Amino acid sequence: MTDLRDAPFDGLLLGAHLATLDGAQAYGAVEDGALAWRDGRIAFVGPRSALPADAVGSAREVIEADGWVTPALVDCHTHLVFAGDRAREFELRLQGATYEEIARAGGGILSTVRATRAADDDALFAASLPRAQALLRDGVATVEIKSGYGLDFETERRMLRVARRIGETLGITVRTTYLAAHALPPEFKDDADGYVDALVEWMPRLHAEALVDAVDAFCEGIGFSPAQVRRVFEAARALGVPVKLHADQLSDLGGAALAAEFGGLSADHVEHTNDAGVRAMAAHGTVAVLLPGAFHVLRDTRLPPIEAFRAHGVPMAVATDCNPGTSPLLSLRQAMQLACTHFRLTPEEALRGATVHAARALGLPDRGVLRVGARADFVRWRVQHPAELCYWLGGHLAEAVHVAGRRIP
């Protein structure tokens, strides 16, 4: 609960209720709480009445608050660096075209690849920064950003550089994921194995530039086969880089089990994951990342195996999947709402999914929870109960976002 050594605190928040998400109690709730930080880390969390008598007077900053405070949100699956949009494809889907039909006709990912390749660093940054700002305004202080709209070395590199620049500009954590195995580029038409050779060769070069925190792939009939993904993952393992996987979204190719076999941080989408895949994820500690935005936009009907995840203790994260084609979603809180509505998560499950479990899906155990020693990333909300974060459709509920104790404008 507390670490009072080396007082005073750098900051102390008083009066709000705390949804610590620590422990089995509902929301880890602490009423009339106190939250203190020092050197960017939480140094005290508990009831206000448990503070030592001199804590308030000696703290360098004291914030009197009401409402609720939660850990800052963590968006663990986004594609938010891209150029252009795909609003026309949205219309086509409403007229009956399928995701696969659009992709095979040269639309889908490849249309975004063309626009992204044509954008220089500054243009790509200018297009992408507002999307990250929207997530931040809604409570996100840690965000994962994937490449995958370049499909050549220079554009993949540019995407990852822009992602890093966004984090530096906003003062938030950005984790970069190398997703060159997203689609087959026109230069390698009908030569998927040749393209896998190329993207595997690019990987250590980008890793040497500190641009790769994780490696991902799209394991699907319109993406890459399990055998090809295995080659990508073996290259990542040789570099000591963790893996994630777009798994079992449109069909069951055993993607979740493949991700688990490599000790994957997460398997994402997972609508078609079978029981063996669920058991493999449970055995290897792989997080199931639920992406209800894509489920909603694509009007899918096949639900992820939520009850099996619960039964086997597989942590369920929730993310926006922010992307131009299948999930143009700029609010993680809205993704939480959709997870409750479509997947029947409870509001507490959704909140834990967008905090502590999402942090685990990024390999970041020091956030997503209000606990002594964790990073002092937290949000002050204008709500009377944490369930409101999943109840309201839209609206601006975040009063302030703090990163390592510092309020972010």
CA of 57: how far to CAs of 3, 10, 39, 162, 395, in Å?
17, 12, 18, 43, 36
Distance from C-alpha of 117 to C-alpha of 154, rounded to nearest angstrom? 9
249 annotated to a ligand binding site: yes
- Output the six-digit token pair for 171: 């003062």
**Alpha-carbon torsion (8, 9, 12, 18), positive or negative:** negative
86 annotated to a ligand binding site: yes
Contact 368, 355 (CB under 8 A): yes
Distance from C-alpha of 290 to C-alpha of 318, rounded to nearest angstrom? 5
182 annotated to a ligand binding site: yes
326 annotated to a ligand binding site: yes
Enumerate the β-bridge partners of residue 218: 246
Report CA dihedral (354, 357, 361, 362) to the nearest 10 degrees. Answer: 70
Residue 265: closest CA among 220, 306, 319: 319
Those residues with Cβ within 8 angstroms of residue 390's Cβ, 6 or more apart along the chain or in another chain: 333, 336, 337, 339, 340, 347, 350, 351
391 annotated to a ligand binding site: no
Distance from C-alpha of 117 to C-alpha of 159, rounded to nearest angstrom? 10
> Cα 340 to chain center, whole Å?
17
Distance from C-alpha of 387 to C-alpha of 20, rounded to nearest angstrom? 14
98 annotated to a ligand binding site: no
Distance from C-alpha of 387 to C-alpha of 394, rounded to nearest angstrom? 14
- Output the six-digit token pair for 64: 């009197």
79 annotated to a ligand binding site: yes
- Output the six-digit token pair for 353: 């999914």
334 annotated to a ligand binding site: no
Report CA dihedral (21, 24, 28, 32) to the nearest 10 degrees. Answer: -170
> Cα 237 to chain center, whole Å?
22
Contact 363, 265 (CB under 8 A): yes
CA of 389: how far to CAs of 69, 140, 145, 379, in Å?
11, 13, 24, 12
HSE, CB side, 13 Å, CA atoms: give it for residue 356: 17
296 annotated to a ligand binding site: no
List binding-site positions. Answer: 77, 79, 86, 149, 182, 246, 249, 321, 323, 325-326
List binding-site positions for 4-imidazolone-5-propanoate. Answer: 86, 149, 182, 249, 326
List binding-site positions for Zn(2+). Answer: 77, 79, 246, 321
List binding-site positions for Fe(3+). Answer: 77, 79, 246, 321
List binding-site positions for N-formimidoyl-L-glutamate. Answer: 149, 323, 325
